[in-house]
Structure 1
Amino acid sequence: MSTLKDVRKKLASLEEELRKTKEATDGRTSQVLVIPQERKVRVFSGVEGSLLVGDFIDDIKAATKLRKVKGAEAADFIMAHLEGPARQEIRHHPKDVSTNPQQILNTLSETFGEKLTLAGVLREICNRLQKEDETITDFGFALMSLGDKLKKMAGGPDSDKTIKEQFRDGLLDGVLRREVKRCLMEEPNITFIKLRDRALDLADDDFVTRRRRQGRKINSYHTEVDSQILGALEGLTTALKGQTETLDDMKLRQDDFSARLLRLEEQSKTKPRPRTDKSQIECHRCHKKGHYANQCPAPAPVQRPAQGN
């Protein structure tokens, strides 16, 4: 009987505690904890055509920062996301590299990153022309990106001047190219941004269209000829004039391209090799140093005829 009373007392105590708890939590808003989803890291192999090393490094830095891992734990995390040639590359390095996350990323960047050379960047700039479906703004951005690469190369020409010249020669419209060339002649120190904006202003004002129409006008002759013949003559004259203008423009463009490419190649030539120090050369005739055998001042040895038996 006493046991039942004890159970009832405990039950009453628990009910009272539950009631007080409910009263204390009435009117309070419940808090919802949102656990952020972990960033997925793609596996890097270093194989051509797969994930770029720069994108992999960005993913790794974001993931390790989110997980708050450092040191050897971060190094193990990176190694877990390497495979193929990339994993083999790190495994063959000393322990001070394979256990240091920053050293691992630096090694991957140096080994599998883009290899840039001065000649390659200059060739890429010279071959960059405005595409048929490309706007002037996009063409300008592409050249600025190549200009940033050129700035990183030692011994290269002036980056801003190089992309300005290519912008002038790479525009599709011949009339706009001539206007940009005239602008460069009048203001040789103009920045690339201002030159691009000048070209955009000309294009927005329909300047190119007006100049084209003016260039296609022909002189009117007061002759009493059939209207059909006159129309045919006008069409033929316009076509010939357009072809002549196109050929002249192509020749001018080719001459400028060849001259600039030759100038850039001359600037990127390496220094000549130092001459050989003759003071360390031994003559095979007199066995003295300082000259070759064909320059030896000593008389040539007399060869005696072979004696028969």
Structure 2
Amino acid sequence: MGAAGPSTVNVLPAPSPIVERVVYVPREQRGHMFSGRGEDNVFEWVEEIHSCLRVRHLPLVEQTSFVLDHLEGPAKNEIKYRAREDRETPEQVFSILKELYWSSQSYIALQQNFFSRKQLEGESLQEYSHALFALMDKVVQQAPGGMTNSVVLPRDQFVEHVLDSGLRRELKRFVRLNPDSTLLDVRKEAIRWVEEGFHYEMRERSHSVPTSSALQYRVQGQIDSSGPSDGNVSELTELKRMMRVQQEQLNELTQSLRQIQSQSVGSHPRRLGPIFCRRCNQPGHIARNCTLGQTQFRGQRGRLSHVNVLPPNGQAENCNPLN
């Protein structure tokens, strides 16, 4: 037998120890608490709790408990002291809270608040649009029969009451070209124009001069302290526009006066033929320079100086003082 060759053995690597990892999965985010104090909006809270209930898929009893767990203060006490059969379902609890914490303002007052809302000094375009959305939500909640133009009204209010007059003209033009646009569409265009850094009136003159609109409307709601204030910039722009209009009117008046003067000069008829004197009817001079009239006047003066005056005794005497 021949000598046996060396044998090879495959050695498997030792398995690495298994490390157990614990992953903590947090429970769904809770809604905010409602107490009925301050500026808590019961309609916003109800909508938020509704969305939480849809995600959790809880049975009816647990849904009611979930709603009660998100109440505190006067709102919780109000539900606590109601009869049990009046608070068995979430909708019953919501109905009680809506009836109790319904806005104290009337529908007319809310409409007045909405239509009188203008962009404030230092307020960004985003902040102004959010304020209009919030006011319109209150109006819709109080509207007796609902509102069909709740999308158009905030857009029109935004377009009419932004601070910059040039931006207002651009937005009105955009709405005329896009009648189905919403407030979000208009705000997007407004922010785009502001970020370009060119003012509407400057673009009309074909100048690439950065203006103060970017200073006036900071998207993040901040005011540039090194630049002019928003009110001064807006007033200065309006004054420039008025001065241009007045200058155009003055130019038109000056041109009209020149035309009238040229017409009046051309309307005088030219004198044809010789000049005749009205006193002697002789050509070549006028009555003021007539020599015949001057000669007759000197002769009359000479005759008057030799008039005989009768004295009281009846004898005629020469009254010439030279005699």
With structure 2 as the length reference, what TM-score do the two structures score? 0.43
Structure of higher CA gyration radius: 2
**Structure showing the higher helix proportion among its residues:** 1
